[in-house]
Amino acid sequence: MNAGSELSCRVCRASLTRTFVDLGSAPPCEAILSPEAAEQGEVAYPLHVRVCTECLLVQLPEVLPADEIFTDEYPYFSSFSTSWIEHARRYVESMRQRLGLTSDSFVVEVASNDGYLLQHVAQAGLRCLGVEPTANTAAAARERGIETEVCFLGRSSATDIVERHGRADLVVANNVYAHVPDLDDFTGGLATLLAEDGTLTIEVPHLMRLIELRQYDTIYHEHFQYYTLQTIARALALGGLAVTDVEELPTHGGSLRVYAQHDAHASEPSAAVIDLLAREKAAGLHDLEGLTGFESAVHSVKRDLLRFLLDAQEQGFTVAGYGAPGKGNTMLNHCGIGRDLLAFTVDMNPHKHGKFLPGSRIPVLAPSAIDEAQPDYVLVLPWNLREEIMRQLAPSVSSWGGKLVFAVPTLDIVDPASTAVAATSPVAPVIQEVAR
Ligand SMILES: [Zn+2]
């Protein structure tokens, strides 16, 4: 736990003296509440993000221990999102071709969740292993035939895994590298798992996009680091790993897929790496001043959303929410929005129905509640699935003259009846927000 008065950087150990953004305090964003729990108290933890003045890593101090977040009953199953499964399928196909993986190859995925990605590896006839700290998702992976180790990755657990399974030609760490407070030990674990000439790929949200698109609601207790390519390279160096290539992806509002290898075996950084580093520098992300002007943008998002909700209420319009992602809770709690301003929200995930959002106590209902209530406005919380949700909601919401509302990057009120997406809407896919 790193909650003393003297906070230090996870990469370079310098004192953390500068604020990136201070969102006050909030309960854990994935701790959705049962009706009984909603009558009890809950603990709120600070969401005060710092930027290291030495290495520029943007980081949230670990005031809420990771093992209290990723428990045996982690409420998030990747397989509820069809778009996420498709992303995983394309990733596996692309890696097979790029790395020339064969039936002799061994693939390890860290934070493998319910096997949503490794199922494609197994189907392709490759040997694979999942490493996952949450027992319930690991059990779901095993049920679909994916061998899974239940543990947090570090140097010691990685050594144990290598002794029993060997080193991996491909180590996959998608959407986990932001979630590890012990960055040094985790990075050492990744390096330990990786064969001498193996490739590691990491997907993380890109801080450049977070700042550009004001995605401050992606800040929550599960996200300990917010990376640029420059700072992820500095973090990987903790394990003797070097960045060789990078791709920019649209997932989570703008992510990086970073390729790395052991330093001694790494190829020269690709043109894409050089280019992205140059763009980050031009955007001011390689100096402290460029990283410390974010708070005013956050305050502007908050003011606009609150003004809209208060005006809607005064004018007698009804507003319901769509989605119950972690990011929604950051925003709702930071803005102080409760049931008085947002009567309920809905979610595709049946595990969340009949429960209440942490902090705000806003009820989570099945999607059919939107059709029954026919609200004048639907505030869409998982903006990163904007197009998918527009297609899904447009036919019904436009039938009663309702409008869709997005809060970031700036408040946007969309009349689905007047957009092309409504006219051509196909049968809605099953969607559910991807929380990690
Ligand atoms: Zn540092």
Encode pLDDT of 277-302 as tens digits: 999 999 999 999 989 889 989 999 99
CA 228 to ligand 1 centroid distance, Å: 13
pLDDT digits (tens, 9 = 90+) for 4-28: 457 999 999 999 999 999 999 999 8
Characterize the bridge pairing of strands 127-131 and 106-110: parallel
Q: What is the pLDDT of residue 76?
A: 59
Number of residues assigned to the chain: 436
- Ligand 1 centroid to Cα of residue 46, in Å, is 20
Per-residue pLDDT tens over the stretch 41-73: 999 999 999 999 999 999 999 877 766 666 555
b/e per residue 7-20 (b: at least 16 CB within 10 A):
bebbbeeeebeeeb
Among 348, 346, 343, which residue's Cα sits nearest to residue 360? 343
pLDDT bin (cut points 50, 70, 90) of residue 88 is confident
Residue 97 carries which DSSP code?
Answer: H
Q: Please give all residues whose CB falls under 5 A of ion ligand 1, grouped by chain where several chains appear.
A: 9, 11-12, 14, 52, 54-55, 57
- Eight-state DSSP code of residue 34: P
Based on its alpha-carbon atoms, the radius of gyration of the chain, rounded to whole angstroms, reads 22
Q: Are 225 and 59 in contact (CB under 8 A)?
A: yes
160-164: long-range pairs with CB below 8 Å, 24+? 161/108, 161/129, 161/131, 161/193, 162/192, 162/193
Whole-number Å distance, alpha carbon 15 to ligand 1 midpoint, is 8
> How far does residue 105's CA lie from ligand 1's centre (Å)?
36
- Closest among 330, 336, 329, 328 to 306, alpha carbons compared: 336
